[in-house]
Amino acid sequence: MNDIKKAASIIQNGGLVAFPTETVYGLGADACSQSACLKIFEAKGRPSNNPLIVHVASLQDAKNIVQFNDNAEKLASLWPGPLTLVLPKKDNAELAQCVTAGLNTVAIRIPADSVALSLIKASGRPIAAPSANKSGTLSSTNYEHVKKNFGDEIFILTSNSQSAYGLESTIIDLTSSVPTILRFGFITPCTLEKLLGKKVEIASKLSEIKAPGMLLKHYSPKTKLRLKAESLRSSEVGLNFGNSQLNVVGSMNLSLSADTIEAAANLFDYLHVLDEFCLKNNIDSIAVADIPNIGIGLAINDRLARAAE
């Protein structure tokens, strides 16, 4: 039995599988099984009020679960891809209650990663999946990160490389007349506004939790982060961007060329590396260089701000 068939069998029988996507690794279960999806919350230590994203393999599969509107039709042109739509749940959708955290809305997307799509198709189930890490900790963008979180507790589908984008999907709420971004990601507000032909709003940090990634404290290493650093203090290591000079033994640079796409892809992996380095060498904090808060930089800074809370 190959790995996809084995993973699909685990999903069909109520188990958990960690699998790669183009964003980050996901920890998946049959989205229609309450007992299976509760295992996600237990394995991650995830708060029960934090909904899960449902991953499907086709537009029709999505339309069987949620009620589409004109805005959703426009943005679905970005699927498969790193975009999650929050839409009203259809009355006949057989989703586990814990997937939506009791809400009447569903966060849903079609992933672009070939392994993820193969798993969804082989299992014949919509798959509910948050990031494959313990709740509140750094997201996993490769096999080793997942292994560090769960050991042999979870079956892990492998990939030949890091996650392509390295950041969780953009999430946009389309349940009202004003589309609202709930979580920044690789798909930028500018891209969304061009497709929609209208302005989008940004959810407040105090907004109702309708999708993953909205908790104030999230994506955190064990080591403290200090943001917008211009120089190093004692007992710090640097996470640089472009020509910033936070240089000491162990420091890393998200992108020497100041490319936010490259920086996003490297963010969680480099934070994993620096966190381990700091813990091993009794270093107090990671000083993070300033990153422009435009385009994909919005998503990078969102993750860093929540990690530093």
pLDDT one-digit tens code per residue, 245-297: 999 999 999 999 999 999 999 999 999 999 999 999 999 999 999 999 999 99
Q: Closest Cα to residue 30, out of 99, 92, 82, 114?
A: 99
pLDDT one-digit tens code per residue, 153-211: 999 998 777 899 999 999 999 998 899 999 999 999 999 999 999 999 999 876 777 77
Q: Could you state, in order of their start, the residue ranges of all structural domains in the chain?
A: 3-68+88-165, 224-308
User: How far apart (Å, rounded) are the C-alpha atoms in residues 46 and 30?
Assistant: 17
Share of the chain above pLDDT 70, in %: 98
Contact in structure between 184 and 172 (CB atoms under 8 Å):
no
Fold of the 3-68+88-165 domain: DHBP synthase (3.90.870)
- Under the banding of pLDDT at 50, 70 and 90, the label for residue 49 is confident
pLDDT one-digit tens code per residue, 109-135: 999 999 999 999 999 999 999 999 999
Q: What is the pTM of this model?
A: 0.94
Amino acid identity of 167? L
Tell me whether residue 124 is exposed, middle or buried, using C-beta atoms within 10 angstroms of its C-beta: 0 to 12, 13 to 18, 19 or more: exposed
Q: Closest Cα to residue 4, out of 181, 127, 140?
A: 127
Structure tokens at 110: 């079609």
Share of the chain above pLDDT 90, in %: 88
Contact in structure between 128 and 13 (CB atoms under 8 Å):
no
